[in-house]
Amino acid sequence: MKKLTHKTMEDFAKSCGVSRPTLSKYFDDPTSVKSATRALIEAALRSSDYQPNLYARNLNRKRTRNIGILVPALTDPFYAEMVNRLELRLRNEGYWPIVFSSHGLQELEAEAVNTMLSLKVAGALVAPLGLKSDPRAFERLAQNLPIVYFDTYIEGNTPFIGNNNYQSVATIVEYLCRSGDVPAYLDIPHVNHNSPERLASYIATMEAAGFEPLVIPTSTAYTWEFERVGYERMDGLFRARSLPRKTILCANDRLAFGVMSAAFAHRLKVGRQKGDDLRVAAHDDHPLSRYICPPLTTMAQDFAAMTASSVSTLLTLLGEPGASDQTIAGKVSLDGTLVMRQSA
């Protein structure tokens, strides 16, 4: 049976026999209208091809059911996993997530902020670039809607949920020291606050254990191409036969991917068995880390807790029923978990 055609909400409301405000109320919340009216509208929907223009309706509201999610790069496995989890959680809460990537560029991050404001999103979950961010853009965003930072933050009073870098790096340094040669630390371009925190924790933990810290500095001032940085830095050391230690702790998993690729290119075997050339360990436990060869020993960030805490904090700020009893913490630091695999 061919469905009826209705081009506008007014046409569809007339066909249902209800007023346009009543129909609009139904689309906002079906339970807000009488059961008999709801049954009438739903029967009409089944016989019609009408679909409400949600974009236009959201623009006309003071507050939409949209939530902006902004990350530095969707190609980063950590952020891809976080976006996936945040999207599903927000959908379960009745919100429509809209995802933005700044691609590591300040101008695109500022553009994403302006777009969220123009779309009148109800709130935002943001992992800012960090050192390259324009704080004024986020000040403007925070003046107009609730935001929660995750993974990294801009200084200020905005709620933040992230990893406890001091605990997690200390944990893996202690493991590497007691299980083999003490580690050198391969640093990363300092793109946000995570980078210097992890470096500081490595140095402090090594010194507390009575070992000399040995930092392999990054040769790049700013980039998000961490695999390339790891490959090029280690390729240079291998070519010069100047590997400082047989255990390398990388600032994150993506850096380690580059290190292990360079080792393979130089016919060096990564692993913790007798006769292996070097051990490699890292931080984050990206979704791909267990599938590289050999599987990567790393510190796992708590994706589930970061997702749950970020969304529940935002829902509390939005005044959602059932979320109002939660106390908003300024900064939440989640401990990491050591995942021992074959690389170290």
- Which domains are assigned to the chain? 9-52 (no CATH), 66-163+303-335 (3.40.50.2300), 165-300 (3.40.50.2300)
Q: Write the pLDDT tens digit of every residue in 58-93.
A: 545 556 789 999 999 999 999 999 999 999 999 999
Distance from C-alpha of 217 to C-alpha of 188, rounded to nearest angstrom: 8
Backbone angles phi, psi at 187, to 5 degrees: -80, 165
Q: Write the pLDDT tens digit of every residue in 263-304.
A: 999 999 999 999 999 999 999 999 999 999 999 999 999 999
Picking from 2-11, 120-129, 141-150, which range would have the lowest pLDDT averaged per residue?
Answer: 2-11
**116 close to 124: Cβ distance less than 8 angstroms:** yes
Q: Is the dihedral of CA 13, 17, 21, 24 positive or negative?
A: negative
Give the pLDDT score at 228. Answer: 95
Q: Write the pLDDT tens digit of every residue in 211-237.
A: 999 999 987 788 999 999 999 999 999
Give the pLDDT score at 54. Answer: 52
Give the pLDDT score at 17. Answer: 83
